């Protein structure tokens, strides 16, 4: 009986999530097509505001769905002082698809709508891909070092994509989100990437370096976010959909944007080396923070 209930819960959750996604993405896609066909800057600003509102509605719908889970508990620190009128650069570790839902639901009333750096493959996901395109989210291609050696003309393409996307965010307060590991964490990926961290993959600095290079001092703060699912480490997104997710731990560290992080990441090797070292230091602290969180709940018998 319990297995049947779990299947029914998962099926209903997926159906409701798809319904909310379709209802919110169709107006966004339609507005995006209008913006494409009518290149009028004043109209673009109105359409962008409408698209952001519909994304907020999507976040509200997801929040409502999460509230249907009576077992879910939130452990959150760092929301104080955030403002929807500011520009933020948000960096975060990446565990699963659940991370996007968590960030959207948790931060929807505290900061401007999130704009994610997305893998190029997501552009082909029905409804979601087109909606993200209409919301001006940058789609990134990840090339291996071997591929770039064989195809040097592809080098720097992600940089150009980032620059063009970030230029569009000058006009209204925005939160640019980058999962700087570039992929969801697994132990297998950690070993393959030769990561020096226990709970994280090596961070990739180019995306946030370009965002800082384009928007510069327009960013009010850097949000260093740490996500952890200490009781659902194996498959948090599946557990979220099936109503088995029991705890979400979020730590938000609000940092000033150091002035020395504005530079030529592509052309200046010394600046690039210093930027990567700064990001690696943040990642080392994050790795230790995740270890503390996991020990805390393990020692509590969770």
Distance CA 25, CA 14 (A): 16
Burial class (CB in 10 A: 0-12, 13-18, 19+), 116: buried
pLDDT-based confidence at 300, cuts 50/70/90?
low
Burial class (CB in 10 A: 0-12, 13-18, 19+), 63: middle
Q: What is the mean pLDDT of residues 229-256?
A: 93
At 246, list the tokens.
């029991």
At 202, list the tokens.
């090596």
Distance CA 216, CA 214 (A): 6
For 164-178, write each residue's pLDDT tens digit. 777 778 778 889 999
Residue 163 pLDDT greater than 80, yes or no:
no
At 97, list the tokens.
């698809």
Residue 152 pLDDT greater than 70, yes or no:
no
pLDDT top residue among 276 and 148: 276
Place of tokens 């997104």: 237
- Are the C-beta atoms of 84 and 56 separated by less than 8 Å? no
């Amino acid at each position: 009986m319990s297995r049947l209930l779990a299947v029914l819960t998962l099926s209903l959750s997926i159906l409701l999530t798809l319904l909310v996604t379709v209802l919110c993405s169709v107006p966004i896609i339609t507005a995006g097509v209008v913006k494409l066909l009518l290149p009028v800057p004043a109209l673009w600003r109105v359409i962008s505001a409408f698209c952001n509102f519909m994304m907020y509605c999507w976040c509200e719908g997801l929040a409502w769905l999460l509230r249907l889970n009576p077992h879910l508990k939130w452990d959150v620190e760092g929301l104080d002082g955030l403002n929807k009128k500011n520009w933020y650069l948000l960096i975060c570790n990446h565990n699963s698809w659940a991370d996007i839902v968590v960030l959207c639901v948790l931060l929807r009333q505290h900061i401007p709508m999130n704009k994610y750096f997305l893998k190029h493959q997501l552009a082909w996901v029905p409804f979601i891909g087109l909606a993200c395109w209409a919301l001006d989210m940058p789609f990134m291609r990840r090339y291996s070092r071997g591929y770039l050696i064989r195809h040097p003309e592809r080098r720097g393409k992600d940089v150009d994509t980032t620059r063009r996307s970030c230029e569009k965010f000058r006009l209204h307060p925005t939160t640019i989100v980058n999962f700087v590991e570039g992929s969801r964490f697994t132990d297998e990926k950690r070993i393959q990437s030769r990561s020096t961290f226990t709970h994280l993959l090596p961070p990739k600095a180019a995306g946030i370096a370009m965002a800082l290079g384009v928007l510069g001092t327009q960013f009010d703060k850097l949000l260093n976010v740490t996500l952890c699912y200490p009781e659902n480490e194996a498959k948090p997104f599946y557990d979220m959909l099936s109503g088995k997710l029991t705890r979400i731990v979020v730590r938000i560290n609000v940092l000033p944007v150091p002035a020395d992080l504005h530079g030529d990441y592509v052309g200046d090797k010394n600046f690039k080396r210093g930027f990567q070292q700064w990001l690696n230091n943040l990642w080392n602290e994050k790795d230790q923070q995740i270890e503390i969180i996991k020990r805390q709940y393990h020692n509590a018998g969770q």
